Amino acid sequence: MTDQDKLLQDLEASYRQMETEALSALAGVQDEEALHTWQVAHIGRNSPVMNSFKRMADLPKELRPLIGQRANQVKEALESAYEARREQLKQQALQRSLEQERLDVTLPGRRPPAGRLHPITQTLRQILSIFATMGFQVYLSRDVETDDFNFTYLNIPPHHPARDIWDTFHLEIPNTVLRTHTSPGQIRAMREFAPEPVRVALPGMVYRYEQISTRSSFQFYQIELLAVGKNITFGDLKGTLNDFVYRLFEKEGGPQEIRTRFRPDYFPFTEPSAEMDVECFICGGKGCSVCKQSGWVEILGCGMVHPVVLRNGGYDPKKFTGFAAGLGVDRLCMLQHGIDDIRNFWRNDVRFLEQF
Amino acid sequence: MKLPVSWLKDFVEIDLNDLFDLARMLTMAGLEVEEIQLAGLSVPETTRREFKVHGLAWDRDKIFVAQINEVMPHPNAERLVLCRVFDGAQEHIVLTGAPSLLAYKNQGPLPKPFKVAYALQGARIYDGHAPGWSLVTLKPARIRGVDSSSMVCSEKELGISEEHEDIIYFDDDAPVGTPLVDYIGDAVFEVKINPNMIRNACVLGIAREIAAITGKPLRAPRSSLEGVIGKAEGAAYAGIQILNPELNPRFVLGLVRGVQPQPSPYWVQRRLRLAGMRPINSVVDATNYAMLEIGEPLHAFDYDILVQRAGGKPPTIITRTAAPGEKLTTLDGVEHTLDDFTVLVCDTAGALSIAGVMGGLESEVSENTRNVLLEGASWNFINIRKTTASQHMNTEASYRFSRGIHPELAMTGVKQCLDYIAQWSGGNIEPELVDAYPLPYKDAVVRITAGEVNRRLGLNLTTTRIATLLDRLDFEVEVEGEFITAKSPAYRTDISEGVIGQADLLEEIARLYGYDNIPASRLADALPVQRRRPLYEGQERMRDCLAALGLMEVISLRLTSPENERRLLPRRNQSLSEEGQENLDADWISVRNPIAQERSVLRRSLLASVMEALEVNSRKSGARASNERLAFFEIGSVYLRRQESADQGQLPLNEDDLLPIEQPKVAIVLQGKREKTGWKTAQAETLDFYDLKGIIEELLDMHALKGSFEPAAHPSFHPGKCARLWIEGGDGSPVDAGIFGELHPQVKENYDLAVEPVLAAELDLQPFLKSNISLRSIESVPVYPPVLEDIAVIVDEAIPAVQVESVIRKAGGKTLAKVSLFDVYRGAQIGEGKKSLAYNLVFQVQDHTLTDDEAEKVRWKIIRLLEQELKASLRGA
């Protein structure tokens, strides 16, 4: 063995030792700080491997490439081990911190102040949108009416027994009343549209002289429906209102037929007149408190527009026919949501309103 | 109307085994059965109830007609007796306390046994002694040493009426041993009679409807006086003088001599009680019974009193309107001062009764009456309505007469009732009747074609079919080619002629054909032209915007009181008329007949409504302690007198100058924390003026409208925290859109609220309707990067921020894309009476990348102009 061989052998052993020691030390490194110390000690400027480069000049010329290659090999091996360890420690640290940051996901969320529309507004919009698809445009009319619009033009002359149907608020201004129904809007709409056909839905607040109780209020919301044309039949009235009811109370899977019935009733401004009942969807017709044990729920009054009303609206009753209906929005909203006290609507308690 | 259904059987064949069937038939014919009260009969067991049912069905094998053969004393009780009761099969000893039996103790077997209602052990009956209606099952009991397991019943125990003074005594022909339900089992239908169906407010009327529907023959009541024609000129016993035939088209009189008023037969009393009337005596009962049966209110006079008033001569009945100030005491003992339109039935000595409403006290029938003069008349229904309204009298008679009773009924009613008086009270009917009929009723004649009927109902009926339907309803029908001519039957007044009469006939045809049999169809008629509804669209958009901004919609009662709305003024101002109080101290439009003082006027302030909602929610427990965020809005009208609102926005519907202005408003209130209450919001800041202003600014943006704000003064608001909103109108000039700010502390004191400030706004909706949001044009997003700069300028405290910003914008020109305030500072560093406003400036142009130099130039231009115009200085410069 030549001296060179011996030297080579020694150097090889020292590099191997350098590498082994460094790697075993690295395995024991557990944190960022120790890693830094290791880096300085094993791949830093004064580390054995780096120092070995500095001593390269002392070696025989012919050995230099070989040893240099070997030194590089060790340096790269340690550097990549260092990178791997660093990455590993980073992962471990992240893992630790993620584990520490665990939240109680069952704590309540922080809610933005969300607004709400009043339940009556919501039901009103639902009803109006169903009728809109059937071609009924919205028409607004006034709250304070003349006696003529509220009664006389609607075929309810002064002292007519039909006036008993409505308990009326009279205003101090002579011959003015708070509208007892949305029907005066029929006359106003007809006078605007005549002689063209009419198809309007007329929402509005109406007023009746009644003490406030769970079932009645002196103020409530109504929607009036009016269709006037040359070919409108009682059958159309039934079909339109049936379609409406199917959609309003539709369940998953879209509209379905619900049992309805039209029974004769009396309103001075329609003839024939009818009351529309819907089979009680709470009990399915067996009888419950909602349907007052009758199996049927009264939802609206309707009928063919009376000739006197058509004439007062500017239409010739010999040529034109039409139908009208009046729906209680509060009542429908109560049925939709199982609300048992009508006073909730105007009391404006947040605990009620925020449920919608 | 209370209808005992067994009564119907007098006139038409019906099946009482299925009461639901009968009730359904009536309901679907427009005679809604609202309730069924059982008085013996039962309803079928079905899963569908269909009707509200109460009352008692009698056990067929436990409740019978029986007879008391002998009344014996109770060994240990003075006020009780033991009866030998025969139920048709066997005899029982029955204990009872009926007071009327005490007199028969110890008299041995009764010569004429009493017919009674008898319930065996196990029968379900009502407890006669308990208040209300509580069911019991008869069980064996020992009363004062005597066993008792069955009972002789009162009406209350059987659910016929509330009568429990005594037991029932049936008429002598009652069949002993028959189950009671077969003898007098009944049910009472509560039938809703619509105003156009007054002809059916009687048993005969409803029987007619049933006959028409079922096709069964009608057995109309037949009087012994059938064929007798009354004499217009009067009879030997009385004459009639009608002064105004328009008000009194017909007046009929009849006379029964030698009557003996007494209790009516039991079956009459039972029917009257079931129908809701109190039996009085056989004469009065006959008038009520005939009215319930035929529909004509009748009145019985004590004839001898009239003769006496006429000085011993036959009386002359005179009908006339009341003299000024005339008074009359009616039989209820009340003295009425009459109106000049009130029609009176009089004799030569003066007024006897208020026509069609109530009889007078003096000529009333009593136990001592021996001769009865019976009145049946026809009255103008409008006049009767005016009288009942003015005199506040509602009677069975006025209920009917005020809805229009056919004059023909005056005659049939009198004839029928005379029979009943004679049958139940004894006496002889004078064969002559008096009948003054100066204004004969003209029954309507209507002409219609099958084409008309089918076009309106959506049916395909033949002329013959229509004629048959009308014939079944007693119309006199003639068919000539395509024309059907129908004459209204002489008992109804609800049919008109011409085009209205056609509608009347259509209803009758549809009703009898069955509404349910008319096929449903979809509208096939032409659609109308589309029209915009700016108010509706605008109010709905506003609702959506405010809800999106985190506010909760409320809807309030629109009737309020002046006191309530005056709470929006500081207390010191409430009674004064200071300038600036605007609408708040002016006059409200009041309701003539308020339901309560606090609901006596139409609201003039929407803010007052929303304040009430705030108060309601502030009062609720916990809200105040947690300083809960409360944020409400309402959209709705306020009501102003026309003259005072001449210069304000007008609604499109003001056709009638009489009517008040209905001005649509938007009101907002905010109070409490800026954030919703949660588990980390304890430190959250309290809402202030700028939160409300921010909402209003967002509203303007959402409507694509330009607004401006200026300090304002209003008694409801904090003088330093109140602003007016101006919205740029269509022509570019600003429109006053309302006022907002922090509520004046003294106004807040008028409400029961938390201590935090209340932010409030009342805005006009009208200026927001000008929004053209769906067609607005937008600016493109810039492509070239901006240069960002901050400046802080120190100005005098008095200079409003809006002025500083406008100078910055003016100097910045097109290059300045955006200015936003990010800080306001006051403090020693900048000196007293000064404030520092810090802005982010964004310089940007659309066509190239701006250089720093370019930006710097503009920045200096801004600073120089601020110095020149506002004496501002650059902070930190």
More confident residue, A273 or B830: A273
Strands B630-640 and B661-671: what pairing?
Answer: antiparallel
pLDDT, position B330: 92
Name the band, by pLDDT with cuts 50, 70 and 90, for residue B46.
Answer: confident
Instruction: Give the single-character DSSP code of B179.
Output: B
**How do residues B433-449 score in pLDDT, each as one tens digit?**
999 999 999 999 999 99
CB spacing of B49 vs A235 below 8 angstroms? no
CB spacing of A266 vs B599 below 8 angstroms? no
What are the structure tokens assigned to B741, written together? 């700010």
Nearest to A119 by CA among B664, B628, B635, B552: B552
Domain ranges of chain A: 3-100, 119-353
Angstrom distance (rounded) from CA B322 to CA B325:
8
Name the band, by pLDDT with cuts 50, 70 and 90, for residue B681.
Answer: low
For A:37-56, CB contacts with B below 8 A are none
pLDDT, position B651: 44
pLDDT, position B449: 96
Q: Which amino acid is present at B153?
A: C
The total of other beta-carbon atoms located within 10 Å of residue B197's CB is 21
For B:367-396, CB contacts with A below 8 A are 381-382, 385-386
Q: Which amino acid is present at B236?
A: A
Nearest to A89 by CA among A30, A24, A26: A30
CB B838 within 8 A of CB B792: yes
Contact with chain B for residue A32, Cβ under 8 A: no
- What are the helix (H) ranges across B649-731? 689-702
Burial of B333 (0-12, 13-18, 19+ CB in 10 A): exposed
Asked which of A40-49, A225-234, B378-387, B687-696 is least confident by mean pLDDT, the reply is A40-49
What is the nearest CA distance from B571 to chain A, expressed in angstroms?
Answer: 26
The closest CB to that of A239, out of B522, B556, B676, belongs to B522
pLDDT, position A111: 84
How big, in percent rounded to 5, are the helix, strand and coil portions of chain B?
A: 30, 25, 45
- Please determine, for residue B483, whether its predicted confidence score (pLDDT) is greater than 60: yes
Q: What's the number of CA atoms in the CB half-sphere (13 Å) around residue B615?
A: 16
CB B804 within 8 A of CB B837: yes
CB B485 within 8 A of CB A202: no
Contact with chain A for residue B675, Cβ under 8 A: yes
Kindly report whether the peptide bond that precedes residue A195 is cis, defined as omega within 30 degrees of 0.
yes
The closest CB to that of B49, out of A120, A196, A287, belongs to A287
CB spacing of B533 vs A317 below 8 angstroms? no
CB spacing of A171 vs B589 below 8 angstroms? yes
The total of other beta-carbon atoms located within 10 Å of residue A212's CB is 16
CA B426, B427, B428, B434 torsion-angle sign = negative
Contact with chain A for residue B627, Cβ under 8 A: no
Contact with chain B for residue A271, Cβ under 8 A: yes
What is the nearest CA distance from A145 to chain B, expressed in angstroms?
Answer: 7
Name the band, by pLDDT with cuts 50, 70 and 90, for residue B49.
Answer: confident
The total of other beta-carbon atoms located within 10 Å of residue B312's CB is 7
Angstrom distance (rounded) from CA B583 to CA A253:
53
- What are the helix (H) ranges across A2-159? 3-28, 32-43, 48-54, 64-100, 119-133, 147-150
**How do residues A5-30 score in pLDDT, each as one tens digit?**
888 888 888 889 989 999 999 998 99
Angstrom distance (rounded) from CA B516 to CA B119:
44
Query: What's the mean pLDDT in B159-176?
Result: 93
Nearest to B293 by CA among B370, B196, B223, B363: B223
**How do residues B294-328 score in pLDDT, each as one tens digit?**
999 999 999 999 999 999 999 999 999 999 999 99
CB-CB neighbors (< 8 A) of B597 in chain A: none
Closest chain A CA to residue B402:
A161
CB spacing of B676 vs A112 below 8 angstroms? yes
CB spacing of B617 vs A141 below 8 angstroms? no
Report in angstroms the alpha-carbon separations of B40 from B270, B271, B464, B569. Answer: 12, 13, 43, 66
What is the nearest CA distance from A98 to chain B, expressed in angstroms?
Answer: 23
Closest chain A CA to residue B52:
A293
The total of other beta-carbon atoms located within 10 Å of residue A252's CB is 5
- Please determine, for residue B580, whether its predicted confidence score (pLDDT) is greater than 90: no
CB spacing of A317 vs B499 below 8 angstroms? yes
Contact with chain B for residue A351, Cβ under 8 A: yes
CB-CB neighbors (< 8 A) of A187 in chain B: none
Name the band, by pLDDT with cuts 50, 70 and 90, for residue B844.
Answer: very high
Residue-range domains of chain B with CATH: 2-56+188-214 (3.30.56.10), 59-184 (2.40.50.140), 239-436 (3.50.40.10), 445-513 (3.30.56.10), 534-646+658-773 (3.30.930.10), 787-874 (3.30.70.380)
- Please determine, for residue B648, whether its predicted confidence score (pLDDT) is greater than 70: no
**How do residues B63-86 score in pLDDT, each as one tens digit?**
999 999 999 998 888 889 999 999
Contact with chain A for residue B671, Cβ under 8 A: no
> Is the ipTM reported for this complex over the cut 0.90?
no
Report in angstroms the alpha-carbon separations of B161 from B40, B126, B289, B628. Answer: 12, 11, 17, 58
Closest chain A CA to residue B196:
A266
The closest CB to that of A295, out of B49, B502, B599, belongs to B49
- Please determine, for residue B687, whether its predicted confidence score (pLDDT) is greater than 50: yes
pLDDT, position A254: 65
pLDDT, position B682: 62
- Encode B692-713 in three state secondary structure: HHHHHHHHHHHCCCCEEEEECC
Name the band, by pLDDT with cuts 50, 70 and 90, for residue B706.
Answer: very high
> What size, in residues, is chain B?
877
Query: What's the mean pLDDT in B534-541?
Result: 94
CB B12 within 8 A of CB B219: yes
- Please determine, for residue B701, whether its predicted confidence score (pLDDT) is greater than 70: yes
For A:198-217, CB contacts with B below 8 A are 198-199, 205, 207, 209-212
Task: Return phi, psi of residue B95, to 5°.
Answer: -95, 135
Query: What's the mean pLDDT in B186-214?
Result: 96
CB-CB neighbors (< 8 A) of B525 in chain A: 197, 227, 229-232, 236
Q: Tell how many helices (H) and how many strands (E) occur in chain B.
A: 21, 41
Kindly report whether the peptide bond that precedes residue A203 is cis, defined as omega within 30 degrees of 0.
no
**How do residues B545-563 score in pLDDT, each as one tens digit?**
999 999 999 999 999 999 9
- Please determine, for residue B573, whether its predicted confidence score (pLDDT) is greater than 70: no
Angstrom distance (rounded) from CA B105 to CA B73:
6
DSSP per residue, A187-202: HHHHHHHTTS-EEEEE
pLDDT, position B582: 47
User: Looking at the whole model, is its pTM more than 0.95?
Assistant: no
pLDDT, position B157: 95
Where is B860: in which H helix or E strand? helix B852-870
How big, in percent rounded to 5, are the helix, strand and coil portions of chain A?
A: 45, 20, 35
More confident residue, B683 or A261: A261
More confident residue, A159 or B689: B689
**How do residues A173-226 score in pLDDT, each as one tens digit?**
888 999 999 999 999 999 999 999 999 999 999 999 988 888 788 999 999 999
| Domain A119-353 top-level CATH class | alpha beta
CB B276 within 8 A of CB B292: no
Average pLDDT over chain B reads 91
Instruction: Scan for tokens 């007016």, then name that residue.
Output: B724
Give the relative orientation of helices A32-43 and A64-100 as an angle to the nearest 10 degrees.
180
User: Tens place of pLDDT for every residue, chain A, 356 residues?
Assistant: 688 888 888 888 888 998 999 999 999 899 889 999 999 998 888 888 888 888 888 888 888 888 888 889 999 999 999 999 999 999 998 999 898 888 888 988 888 888 999 999 999 999 999 999 999 999 999 999 999 999 999 999 887 877 877 889 999 988 899 999 999 999 999 999 999 999 999 999 999 998 888 878 899 999 999 999 999 999 999 999 999 999 988 876 666 778 899 999 999 999 999 999 998 877 777 777 777 777 888 899 999 999 999 999 999 999 999 999 999 999 899 888 888 888 899 999 998 999 99
pLDDT, position A67: 86
What are the structure tokens assigned to A77, written together? 């091996």
Nearest to B377 by CA among B350, B346, B354, B407: B407
Q: Which amino acid is present at B558?
A: R
- Please determine, for residue B645, whether its predicted confidence score (pLDDT) is greater than 70: no
Measured distance between the N- and C-terminal CA atoms of chain A, rounded to whole angstroms? 97
